[in-house]
Amino acid sequence: MDGEGCFFINIYKKNSSVLGEGVKLVFKITQDKRNNELLKSFVKIFGCGGIYNQSISGNVQYFIVTKFSDITDKIIPFFEANPLQGAKSKEFANFKEVAELMKEGAHLTYSGLSLIKQIKSRMNKNID
């Protein structure tokens, strides 16, 4: 998971939101198409997500989960029970923190969205 996976916080324009922005959590694992069976196993293990082609040629595929309830009920509990050992453990902690904030509705307030943006800004920086 450390090399080919990511926990991502997507902040995007959302016209239907009072704030004009939305927040989506994304869990993604990328692999060469030769590892398609491995990606299929993630769908079975997690009981959610899907497999898609990342490139037009189809040489790169990815397993992705974006449904909030799948993130909170399946992905986060899996990594709590099976902790990451490398640098991605910090990314997971930030990802989990934002999930908790979203459960509380923080992403629907200016102050909460600002806090989520701060958390996102400290991700993937390779800083101790």
Q: Compute the distance between CA of residue 95 and CA of residue 102 in angstroms, rounded to an integer.
A: 11
Q: pLDDT for 80-125, tens place per residue?
A: 999 998 889 999 999 999 999 999 999 999 999 999 999 999 987 6
pTM above 0.85, yes or no: yes
Q: What's the CATH number of domain 5-121, 3.20.20.140, 3.30.1280.10, 3.10.28.10, 3.40.50.800?
A: 3.10.28.10
Report strand pairing: 50-53 vs 60-65: antiparallel
* Residues paired with 120 in a beta bridge: none
Q: Compute the distance between CA of residue 44 and CA of residue 40 in angstroms, rounded to an integer.
A: 7
- 3-state percent breakdown (helix, strand, coil) of the chain, nearest 5: 45, 25, 30
Q: Compute the distance between CA of residue 63 and CA of residue 101 in angstroms, rounded to an integer.
A: 25
Q: pLDDT for 5-19, tens place per residue?
A: 899 999 999 999 889
Provide the pLDDT confidence category of residue 1 given band limits of 50, 70 and 90: low
Q: Compute the distance between CA of residue 85 and CA of residue 44 in angstroms, rounded to an integer.
A: 23
Q: pLDDT for 40-78, tens place per residue?
A: 999 999 999 999 998 777 789 999 999 999 999 999 999
Segment holding 11, helix H or strand E: strand 5-13
Q: Which residue ranges make up each domain of the chain?
A: 5-121
